[in-house]
């Protein structure tokens, strides 16, 4: 079967996939500027007949594989940026840059994408159309996919798009996804409670913003559970509070920061409005004001049901293959959502827990001790290649 042959091809280049992953892992880059990471990927693929496109807004690039056959176009995507955190894995190829770590697996995503490119290039004469490989920076909150779209790097838009994200606390080799909403939107929340400061011994002469801010934090939790259906999976989390400069001074301001997660555009706007109402009215009740700032982040990641069915067929055809249909969305967020808002497609998860270990006990993504069983990476590369080939051959049939 095709997928089995692709997996055999991927295992044949496992050393290259793992070597690229380790090289990227040791030298992580942040945000929209990942020139060293892109250079490593381009060097690994330099011998392949790829046409490269780059834009002005970031270090994103698209490599195009086209053997001259007319047909559909499939896009495969891998992200390249790391996180601003120290690594505590003790790996021999651990980050050499203080305060930076590939703790979300983007090093593996780039390596698997490069692997898929090599697998498909070897079969270029069998491709019934064009495959594009999207090497994207700035996924960790920097909207890299949106910049690449704005730069026209995906024009004309492909007919289908696929992406894979590792999951270190998921069963070894598992591939899973779901039709419809897979991941939430993610917006940044700031609430500045403004009062009138003074001496801590005379609070009656002030308008103390600190207890008002505390009241707002609690009220937001009640707002979520009492104004929205529990089945709608809305998350409003206040993660930071900043107020005051001395133990005996009541400040003029208290600042709250946090995140808002929703699964639909309608509920997203409703939550924004409810937050403004709750914060403003509580502050006014205490003769203070609340300045609410919501910075719009990634929209929900919505999978096309046809693409999920295709991915399930590809995963299930692998040796020891099985596809897990996730029962519910995950409240994390992904900027591949920008691509899926314009192109039918899907994102799936790949379990990279160590074989034989209890995956429930493994460190999750964004942990300083996150580990990856690299023997799974060829499976991911073959899966991506299989999605592209199956779509070009059969579309959604």
* For the chain, percent of residues with pLDDT exceeding 90: 92
Question: Distance (Å, rounded) from C-alpha 233 to C-alpha 331?
Answer: 8
Choosing from 277, 295, 313, the residue where a domain stops is: 295
Residues 247 and 147 in one domain: no
Residues 238 and 262 in one domain: yes
The mean pLDDT of 5-30, rounded to a whole number, is 97
Choosing from 260, 295, 330, the residue where a domain stops is: 295
The 3-class SS string of the chain reads: CHHHHHHHHHHHCHHHHHHHHHHHHHCCCCCCCCHHHHHHHHHHCCCCCCEEEECCCCCCEEEEEECCCCCEEEEEEEECCCECCCCCCCCCCCCCCCCCECCCCHHHHHHHHHHHHHHHHCCHHHCCEEEEEEEECCCCCCCHHHHHHHCCCCCCCCCEEEEEEEECCCCCCCEEECCEEEECCCEEEEEEEECECEECCCHHHCECHHHHHHHHHHHHHHHHHHHCCHHHCCEEEEEEEEECCCCCEECCEEEEEEEEECCCHHHHHHHHHHHHHHHHHHHHHCCCEEEEEEECCCCCEEECHHHHHHHHHHHHCCCCCCEEECCCCECCCCCCHHHHCCCCEEEEEEECCCCCCCHHHCCCCCCCCCCCCHHHHHHHHHHHHHHHHHHHHHCCC
Tokens of 168: 């270190």
Per-residue pLDDT tens for 213-248?
999 999 999 999 999 998 889 999 999 999 999 999
Residues 206 and 178 in one domain: no
pLDDT of residue 319: 83
Kindly report the CATH number assigned to the domain that includes residue 290. 3.30.70.360
The mean pLDDT of 14-18, rounded to a whole number, is 98
Question: Distance (Å, rounded) from C-alpha 152 to C-alpha 89?
Answer: 39
Per-residue pLDDT tens for 73-121?
999 999 999 999 999 999 999 999 999 999 999 999 999 999 999 999 9
pLDDT of residue 1: 58
Residues 227 and 150 in one domain: no
pLDDT of residue 322: 79
Residues 129 and 271 in one domain: no
Kindly report the CATH number assigned to the domain that includes residue 26. 3.40.630.10
Residues 240 and 142 in one domain: no
Per-residue pLDDT tens for 345-379?
999 999 999 888 888 888 899 999 999 999 999 99
Choosing from 231, 262, 295, the residue where a domain stops is: 295
Residues 340 and 272 in one domain: no
- At residue 62 the predicted structure's pLDDT band, cuts being 50, 70 and 90, is very high
Q: Which domain holds residue 236?
A: 187-295
Average pLDDT, the chain: 96
* For the chain, percent of residues with pLDDT exceeding 70: 99
Contact 250, 244 (CB under 8 A): yes
Residues 95 and 200 in one domain: no
């Amino acid at each position: 079967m095709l997928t089995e042959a692709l997996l055999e091809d991927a295992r044949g280049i496992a050393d290259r996939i793992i070597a690229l992953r380790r090289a990227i892992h040791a030298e992580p880059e942040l945000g929209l500027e990942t020139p060293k990471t892109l250079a490593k990927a381009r060097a690994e693929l330099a011998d392949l007949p790829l046409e490269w496109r780059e834009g002005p807004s970031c270090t994103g690039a698209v490599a195009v594989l086209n053997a001259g056959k007319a047909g559909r176009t499939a896009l495969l995507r891998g992200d390249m940026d790391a996180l601003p955190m120290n690594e505590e894995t003790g790996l021999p190829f651990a980050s050499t840059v203080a305060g930076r770590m590939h703790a979300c697996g983007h090093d593996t995503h780039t390596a698997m994408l490069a692997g898929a490119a090599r697998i498909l290039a070897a079969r270029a004469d069998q491709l019934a159309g064009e495959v594009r490989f999207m090497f994207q920076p700035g996924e960790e909150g920097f909207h890299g996919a949106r910049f690449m779209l704005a730069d026209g790097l995906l024009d004309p838009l492909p007919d289908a798009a696929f992406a894979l994200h590792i999951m270190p606390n998921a069963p070894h080799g598992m591939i899973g996804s779901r039709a419809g909403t897979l991941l939430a939107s993610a917006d940044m929340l700031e609430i500045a409670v403004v009062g009138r400061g003074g001496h801590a011994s005379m609070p009656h002469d002030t308008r103390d913003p600190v207890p008002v801010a505390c009241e707002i934090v609690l009220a937001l939790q009640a707002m979520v559970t009492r104004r929205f259906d529990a089945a709608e999976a809305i998350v409003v989390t206040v993660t930071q509070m900043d107020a005051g400069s001395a133990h005996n001074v009541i400040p003029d301001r208290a600042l709250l920061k946090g995140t808002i997660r929703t699964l639909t555009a309608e509920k997203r706007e409703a939550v924004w409005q409810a937050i403004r109402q709750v914060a403003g009215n509580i502050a006014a009740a205490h003769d203070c004001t609340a300045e609410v700032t919501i910075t719009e982040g990634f929209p929900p990641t919505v999978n096309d049901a046809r693409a999920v069915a295709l991915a399930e067929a590809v995963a299930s055809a692998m040796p020891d293959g099985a596809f897990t249909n996730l029962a519910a969305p995950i409240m994390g967020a992904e900027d591949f959502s920008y691509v899926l808002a314009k192109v039918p497609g899907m994102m799936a998860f790949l379990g990279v827990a160590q074989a034989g270990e209890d995956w429930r006990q493994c460190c999750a993504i964004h942990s300083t001790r996150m580990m990856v069983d690299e023997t799974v990476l060829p499976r991911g590369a073959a899966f991506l290649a299989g999605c592209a080939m199956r779509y070009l051959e059969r579309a959604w049939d």
